[in-house]
Structure formats: structure tokens, C-alpha cells
Amino acid sequence: AAIESEINRKGLNNAGIESFARILANSTPPQIVVAPDGLDVRVDHPWFDRVKFLAEDLICLEGSVSASETWALTEHVILGQHILPGTAYLEMVRAALAEITGSLRMEFRRVGFLQPLVAKPGQTIEILTVLKKQDAGWSFKVLSLDGSRENDLWIEHARGEVEDSNL
């Protein structure tokens, strides 16, 4: 819901459709139609496989984890439940920022772990790492899609701020 409200607030929910409608409504045919580069990019990474640039300052990285295939869940079992360790959320954010900025060193601030991600054997869970540009660095959220409940709810697991410390 938080991502959807951010998309709606930015007016991006129908941006492509509205742009196409304006092109069709214009009596002068366009000479060149340019689609923005990098809006939806596939990547090969253990934590995510798609990067979505929703706005200049809002980036989402999508991926999935499963108790049978993700080492962090396979090896972290507490009372018989596969639970994603807190360091995995930080690694997701580190990898996401490195993918976007190329930064190798970063500093985390105001990190909060809100709810553990618990996976059942054989279950695959969609993960979303959201980066929002701030004056100094980025704010982040790590969410998962709980498909077992009605209306597919995004659950927030971690949030905080991260800054490039290569400077």
C-alpha cells in the first residue's frame, strides 16, 4: 500500500497510458517517440532480478526468496521455522545501492527491524527493496508480499537510511 500511494502521489500510475493517449490525440504525427531508458531493467543478482525506476528519486528492486533455495533461509532455522536474518536485509540494501550507484562502501543509520520474514518449506516469497533519494543518501525499506492473506499485503520488515561513504 505504501508503494502504491507513493506511485499515485507521484502521478506515475497511469503515466505511460496518459503519454500514449496524448500522442494519439495529437493531430501532428510524432517524428520520434522516445521511451525512457532504465525504467524496468532485468539484473542477475541473488537478492533481486529486476530494477524499476519509478521516479528520479524512487527505485524499487524486486526479487524472491525461498526456504529451499535461499541460503540465508535454508541455514537460519529457529524453532523449526525458516527466518531471514537481520543481516540479510542489510545485505539486500547494500547490494541494491551498489547496483544503482556503484558504491562499495556505505554507512547505515536509523535501521529498524520491524517484523521477521518467515518462509514455509517450498514457499517462494516476493521481496521488494525500495530506495528513496534524500538530501544526504537514501532511505530504504525492505518488504515482502504476503500472498497467503486476502488482498496481497506488503509487509515491511526493515527500514532506515544509507549513505555512500566513499566520499
State residue 42's pLDDT score. 66
- Cell for 149? 492473506
Q: In 3D, which of 77, 73, 54 has the Cα closest to residue 133?
A: 54
State residue 35's pLDDT score. 37
- φ/ψ of 106, rounded to 5, equals -150, 160
pLDDT by 10-residue block (mean), the chain, 167 residues: 52 48 51 45 76 86 89 87 92 88 89 92 90 92 76 86 80
User: How is residue 16 annotated by DSSP?
Assistant: H
* Strands of 153-164's sheet in order across: 40-42, 50-55, 58-66, 124-133, 138-146, 153-164, 106-113
Helix (H) or strand (E) holding 141: strand 138-146
